[in-house]
Amino acid sequence: MNSTTITLTVYLANIQIQIIRYLLTITLIIGNLSNFTNILIFSQHSLRSHICSWYFIGSSIGHLLYLNMGCLTRVIWAWTQYDLSFISLAFCKTRIFFVLNGLTISRYLFCLISIDRWMITSRNTRIRHLSSLKVVRRLIMAGTFSLIIINIFISIGYVIQKNISCGPSTEPVYFLFYTIYNITLSLAPLLTLIIFSVLVLFNIRHTGHHQIAPTTLIDLNHEIRYRRRRLRKKDIQYIKLSLIQVAAYIVFNTLHGYNTIHEVITQNQIKTPEQRAIEGFLSGTGLNLHYVYTGITFFLYTLASETFRQACILFWKRWLEHLLHLMFLRSNHQTTVQIA
């Protein structure tokens, strides 16, 4: 390894450490506040009754797992050069289990959001009927349980490699499964979000261009309810939330997905030290961008939805009024004690 290679490797590694120290430390703090706030806002009575709120609450919980088990250990390593997952196999497996659950469950729920928005904009009565709280609860429970089972198997196969990294085992059968899992995790959500977002836009564009001719009284009743529902402001707001979420997902996750697929394709190629240094830097950058994405969802929702902004303002107004009321009662109590 010549001096130029060493200089490039060290230079890129130092840049990566600085990015993690400052960007991800801020992302970790803001991300926790952001996702906790999302859960509180979507849990409000005015929003909780809407189907998509359950998806957004679940995805925020997934992001909290991902940030605090993935981003946190990355930040600690950048500041202290210490990572327990390089030493403890139990922690290595436990950490990746929670990281994968947070990642996969949040992506799964975002896909369901896009599918649900497609269903409610569909001209087909049967498809629209599938958008219900009963179906949502079943999909969330069944999907989450399935992903947890898969992630248990994946995390069990992680090993500590030469005391410098916690990664997947190279045992052939497991590594084949892990490769398929990794590619699916990268491509399936991206393709699902793009396809159903395009279909949503197509349905919205063609709303009113074609008239539906009800043939029975049941169809007529469905059509009346459908037309009324289409005018609901919340549905429109949740469609906007879904679309901006997809746009942000593509922007912040494309590099991470590309790196994953590129690593799988080139895993058997012999690479120069310069190539490994550059690929390592790009891989770290893609991962950093993905952490940033999970930390800014509150700002995306605030930007996209008037309904969310109003619910947020009302929520903080109530909390402020409650806090002022408690302070007033405490002040009166202290005054009473002093007089007595």
Hey, CA dihedral for 227, 231, 234, 236, is it positive or negative?
positive
Nearest partner of 57 among 120, 137, 134, judged by Cα: 137
> Which DSSP state fits 24?
I
Instruction: Tell me: pLDDT of 95 over 90.
Output: yes
pLDDT at residue number 211: 45
Residue type, 134: K
Q: What average pLDDT does range 94-103 have in this prediction? A: 94
Q: What is the mean pLDDT of the chain?
A: 83
**Rounded (10°) angle between helices 89-121 and 133-156:** 150
Cβ-based burial of 335 (10 A; exposed 0-12, middle 13-18, buried ≥19): exposed
Q: Mind listing the pLDDT tens digit for each residue in 317-333?
A: 888 887 887 777 777 66
pLDDT at residue number 163: 66
Query: 217-224 — which CB contacts under 8 Å span 24+ positions?
Result: 219/125, 222/125, 222/128, 222/129, 223/125
Instruction: Tell me: pLDDT of 234 over 70.
Output: no
Q: What average pLDDT does range 284-313 have in this prediction? A: 87
Residue 227's pLDDT band, with cuts at 50, 70 and 90, is: very low
pLDDT at residue number 338: 58
Is residue 165 within a helix (H) or strand (E), and if so which, with residue range? strand 165-168
Q: Percent of the chain having pLDDT more than 70?
A: 86
pLDDT at residue number 335: 64
pLDDT at residue number 3: 63
Q: Percent of the chain having pLDDT more than 90?
A: 29
Q: Mind listing the pLDDT tens digit for each residue in 261-289?
A: 888 788 777 878 888 888 888 988 989 99
State how far the alpha carbon of 267 is from the alpha carbons of 134, 164, 261, in Å: 44, 19, 10
Instruction: Tell me: pLDDT of 222 over 90.
Output: no
Choose between 34 and 205: higher pLDDT: 34
Residue 214's pLDDT band, with cuts at 50, 70 and 90, is: very low
pLDDT at residue number 142: 93
Average the pLDDT over each of 54-68, 81-95, 258-272 and give the range with the smallest value. 258-272
pLDDT at residue number 47: 79
Instruction: Tell me: pLDDT of 220 over 70.
Output: no
Choose between 243 and 15: higher pLDDT: 15
